[in-house]
Homo-oligomer: A and B are copies of this chain.
Amino acid sequence: MITYSDLGKLKSFSMLKKEKKENVKDLLTADRVKNSSIALGGGLKYNWAAMPVSENILSGLQALSDEAQLIDKYKEILSGKVMNTGEKRLVLHHLTRGNVLGAEVAADGEDKDQFYKDVLASIKDFSEKVRNGEIKGSTGKAFTTVCQIGIGGSDLGPRALYLALKGWAEGSGVKTLEGRFISNVDPDDAASVISDLDPETTLFILVSKSGTTQETLTNRDLVLKTLGSMGIQGYNPSKHMVAVTSKTSPLAKDESMLASFFIDDYIGGRYSSTSAVGGVVLSLAYGYDTFRKLLDGAHEEDCLSLGKDIRKNGALMDALIGFYLRNIAGYPATAILPYSQALSRFPAHLQQLDMESNGKHVNRNGEKIDYPTGPVIFGEPGTNGQHSFYQLLHQGTDIVPLQFIGFRECQYGKDIETAGSMSQTKLNANLAAQIAAFARGKDDENPNKEFDGNRPSSLIYGDKLTPEALGALLAHYENKVMFQGFIWNLNSFDQEGVQLGKVLAKKVLAGCEGDDLLKAYADLLI
């Protein structure tokens, strides 16, 4: 019997609040660092040594995980229960990378595992034909560029993953089609991308689950009209566009598309990077085999996330410590700090994943809750951030918990030695130094040069940012956010908070219908 109850009703939460608070400064030793790593998928590990959790607190977190039945609830998702309670939908993004439980999940009169496998097969077939030149543009030229048109989950995750693998592909000799992205309804976004595209060799991927997203349809029309009016002999823009959409959307019926790839209502936008939403663009850009490796890494992490022992389940441990920092230590924000330029847009993806999933004020039954939920998420790559906002992280008046990410090797393989060390060594020396500096601080007679320390941090690390590692990293955060949603008793899979703005924007476009306030603001802007 699985019980869903608010955090305040858990005995283990009351117990945890009574546990003695710990200082990272006192806890952190070299031995603790060596004994605090948990294997994730894809060769990655999660290290929690610099988090303010004692043995007693860890026992308390384990008790909370057990009492709140976090793993059982994950299994509910995997077995196809209606876990998106607001929209009454299954939650099946794990199935897009492999069936973790082996359970049969049926919906819409079909085997969903088979459905996602069929989509994968169609992506494989199409992407190979494009990459080997069998499928060409309307003027007979092979495609060299793929341009995704989508917004939110149809943009942030796929874009972050595309950028994360660019150096790996070049360093590994994997053939690459250049990737571009148009998302914003600001016409300058499309204009900027179009300004250096060759229409004849570009394939557009139109991504909208509903087929009704205002920004995406607007940008489709803008692209088609702009390219179509260039007067290129024999050029037909509609032969340069594929769709990723649901079978029931208006786009699915658009016969002008070169091809269509399907998703369904059980894949939320922010969880769609491993579905066709990310799969088409990544398979076109780097080959289906690369995308398949990414899925394998994600699947491995999904399997590891099933363990009930928090000391062996990195996503679970990360989720529980994050909950502790938010609801007991009381920290309202978390920074994501990848020491990897390839992950430059990964924090922006996690910002959506986390804040859109758990930035909620009602529980899964739609009742108001009385404790803090999802934190503010932000971040930039290191070492860049060290020369920017780290000042506040080190010496500001608020404490911001930190999530570091690092890799032993670079991607391009074009590192050189200067001043006695390789750049990659300098990068990671900075990373190691920062964790120690944040945790330990430094005494000084001059308070302006004093560091209080006790800034909690974790570290995800691995040998290299490969497709497998990237898939595991993605799944780690998806599963972390899922577990935190369970702790807070939220539905992490809907997003009612975005609806009101859409309704009011339509009113403004329709002339405000007599709403003075909207008109006053529109008068400033339009």
Choice from B167, B190, B269, B521 contacting A33 with Cβ under 8 Å: B521
Known: A151-B387, A395-B361. A434 touches B501 (CB 8 A): yes
Instruction: Bin the interface of chain A by size.
Output: 35 or more
Is the CB–CB distance between A186 and B524 below 8 Å?
no
Question: Of B30, B185, B225, B422, which contacts A426 at CB under 8 A?
Answer: B185
Q: Name 10 extra pairs, CB < 8 A, besides A218-B423, A391-B495.
A: A151-B383, A170-B195, A187-B416, A187-B423, A222-B418, A351-B388, A359-B396, A366-B447, A374-B392, A433-B502
* Copies of this chain assembled into the complex: 2
Across the interface, do B383 and A522 meet the contact criterion of CB distance under 8 Å?
no
Q: Mark A172-197, 1 if CB is under 8 A from B, else 0.
A: 00000000000111111111101100
Write the A398-420 contact mask toward B (1 if CB under 8 angstroms, else 0): 10100000101011101110111
Interface residue A339 (Cβ < 8 Å from any Cβ of B): yes
Interface majority SS on A: helix, strand, loop or mixed?
helix
Binds B, one of A114-122, A258-266, A436-444: A436-444
Nearest chain B residue, comparing its CB with the CB of A418: B221
Once bound together, how far apart are the Cα atoms of A372 and B396, in whole Å? 8
Cα–Cα distance between A423 and B151 once the two chains are bound (Å): 15
Interface status of A461 (Cβ within 8 A of chain B): yes
28 inter-chain pairs at a CB distance below 8 angstroms, sorted by A residue, are A47-B524, A151-B383, A167-B188, A170-B195, A185-B383, A187-B412, A187-B414, A187-B424, A190-B414, A191-B414, A215-B426, A217-B418, A218-B423, A218-B426, A221-B419, A222-B416, A222-B418, A359-B393, A361-B395, A376-B378, A393-B497, A394-B498, A408-B526, A430-B501, A433-B502, A433-B503, A433-B508, A437-B500
Determine the residue in chain B with the shortest Cβ distance to A508.
B429
Residues of B within 8 A of A3 (CB): none
Of A52-60, A303-311, A512-520, the one with at least 4 CB within 8 A of chain B: A512-520
Q: Given that A86-B448, A187-B412, A516-B29 are contacting pairs, would A425 and B509 also be in contact in the complex, using a CB cutoff of 8 Å?
A: yes
Say whether A152 contacts B384, CB under 8 Å. Answer: yes
Q: How far is the CB of A144 from chain B (nearest CB, A)?
A: 13
A451 near B362 with CB under 8 A, answer: no
Chain B residues whose C-beta falls within 8 Å of the C-beta of A388 in the assembled complex: 152, 156, 270, 348, 351-352, 355-356
A183 to B380, CA, bound (A): 12
Chain A positions 11-58 with a Cβ under 8 Å from a chain B Cβ: 28-31, 33-34, 37, 45, 47
B392, A498: Cβ atoms closer than 8 Å: no
Judged by a CB distance under 8 angstroms, whether A342 is at the interface is yes
Q: Given that A221-B416, A341-B188, A392-B359 are contacting pairs, would A33 and B524 also be in contact in the complex, using a CB cutoff of 8 Å? A: yes
Q: Which positions 352-394 of chain A face chain B at CB distance < 8 Å?
A: 352, 355-356, 358-362, 366-369, 371-374, 376-378, 380-384, 386-394
Query: A residues 481-526 with Cβ under 8 Å of B?
Result: 491, 494-509, 515-522, 524-526
CB pair B187 A433 closer than 8 Å: no
**A206 contacts chain B at the CB level, 8 A cutoff:** no
The reply to whether A500 and B442 form a contact with Cβ atoms under 8 Å apart is yes
